[in-house]
Amino acid sequence: MLRRIHGGVSWIDSEKFLDFSVNVNPFGPPKEIVEKLYYCINNKAYKFYSDPNYRLLHKTLSEAYDIDEKNLVHTAGASEALFLIIKCLISRGFRNVFLLSPTYGEPEIKALAKELGARASFILMGEAQDKFYIDLDSLIDNMKDIKNTFLIISNPNNPTGIYIDQDNIKAIAESLEGRGFLIIDEAYSELSRKRGGLDLLNYYDNLIVVRTLTKLFATPGLRTGFLASRNKRLIECLEALRPTWNIDSISSCVFSGRPLRDKEWFKKFISDTSGKIKALREDLENGLKKIGFKVFRSEANFILSKIIINYNPEEFYRKLYLKNIVVRNCDSFKGLDPRYFRVGVKDCSSNKVLLETIKEVIKE
Ligand SMILES: Cc1ncc(COP(=O)(O)O)c(C=O)c1O
C-alpha cells in the first residue's frame, strides 16, 4: 500500500512536542484570520454547502494575487491542485511525468501516474558543498526528445530550499513549448523573499503555477489554494475534474472577502512575515553550522541539514523525540538518506531550544 510520509505532528500531540518537521508560517495564523474563522463558525457556515461556483472566494483570490478570474481554479490546498493537474494532463495524453528531486510528494505522484498509465521519472539535483543546485542544460537535455511530457518543480524547493530564478524558469518553459508543460509548485513562495512565477503566466501557454494559503497562514486544516494558467483548454479540463464542493464551507468563508480582500493588509502581512523568517533562518543556519552539521543554503522557511559528525542518525531522531522535539528525517526523499534532516524555522526561543537540545543529544 502507498505510504504517505510527511512532516507535522497531529494537533492531539501539539502541546507535547516542539514540532520542527512542519513548514508552515512559524508565527501561526494572524489574528485577522482567526477572527474571521470565529465569525464563520458563529454564523454556522458549516451548516451550509459552499457556493458550488465559489464566486466570492474566486474573486477574492484573483484580486489578492492579480490573476484574471478565468485563469484560476481554486483547490483544497496545493496538494489537490497537483493531483488535478496530473490527472488532467495524463488524461490528455501527457504520459511522461518528470519531477525535479528530491522534492515534495514523490511517492504519491509516482503512484498516481502509474495508476493512470503514465510514468514518473526523477531528475536529481546536484549537491554542492553548501547548496543543492540544478544543471539547467542537463535538465533540459534529459527531457529533450520526449513528447507529451510535463515537469513538476517545487520552488522554493521542499526539502532542499533552493530557488530557481525566473530566467531559468523561462528557459525550461520555452524548452517544453509545443510538447509539454511546466508546473511550478510555489507553496512556500510568500514565505520566502523571492519572486514567484505568477507574472510569467501571460507569456507561456504551457506554464501552470500552484499556490496555497495553508503555509502562509499556518492553516493546513483550512484546505485552500489554487492553480493558475492562461491555457483556456487546460482550465476547462481542470474545472471539469474539480469535485463540486472541493473546499469546505468554513475554509471558503474564512478566505472569501476580508481580510484577504484588503490588498494593503495582505501585501504588508507577506512582506513582514517573510522578512522576519529570513532573519530567523539565518540565525538557525549559523547555529546548526556551529554544531558541526552541514547546512544547505535555503531561500525558504525551512532548512535542510546533514549530520556529518560521527553520530548515528536514528539515535539522533530517537533522542530528540524523547526530549519532545520532532525534526523531519529526509530519508524518504529521492537521493537523500537518514543523515539529512529538515527543520522548519520557528520563533527565536524555539529555535534556541532546538539548538541547545541538539547539543545535549550529541554529547550523550
Ligand atoms: C512543496 C509543497 N507543495 C505542496 C504541499 C501541500 O500543501 P497544501 O497544504 O496546500 O496541500 C506541501 C506540503 O508540505 C509542500 O511542501
Q: Domain-by-domain residue ranges, the chain?
A: 11-28+264-363, 31-263
Q: Does domain 31-263 have CATH number 3.40.640.10?
A: yes
* Cα 20 to Cα 25, 140, 142, 254, 341, distances in angstroms: 11, 35, 35, 26, 10
CA angle 96, 112, 220 (to 5 degrees): 120
104 lines ligand 1 (CB under 6 A): yes
Q: pLDDT (tens digit, 9 = 90+) per residue, 298-320?
A: 999 999 999 999 999 999 999 99
Give just the sign of the alpha carbon dihedral 108, 320, 336, 167.
Answer: positive
User: To test ligand 1's pocket by mutation, which of 24, 99, 101, 104 has the most ligand atoms within 8 angstroms of CB?
Assistant: 104
300 lines ligand 1 (CB under 6 A): no
Distance (angstroms) between ligand 1 centre and the Cα of 187 equals: 6
Q: Does domain 11-28+264-363 have CATH number 3.90.1150.10?
A: yes
Q: pLDDT (tens digit, 9 = 90+) per residue, 244-256?
A: 999 999 999 999 9
225 lines ligand 1 (CB under 6 A): yes
Q: pLDDT (tens digit, 9 = 90+) per residue, 18-66?
A: 999 999 999 999 999 999 999 999 999 999 999 999 999 999 999 999 9
pLDDT, residue 321, reads 96
220 lines ligand 1 (CB under 6 A): yes
SS3 146: coil
pTM for this entry: 0.97
Cell of 285: 543556519
Mean of pLDDT over the chain: 97
| Number of other CB atoms surrounding residue 336 within 10 Å | 21
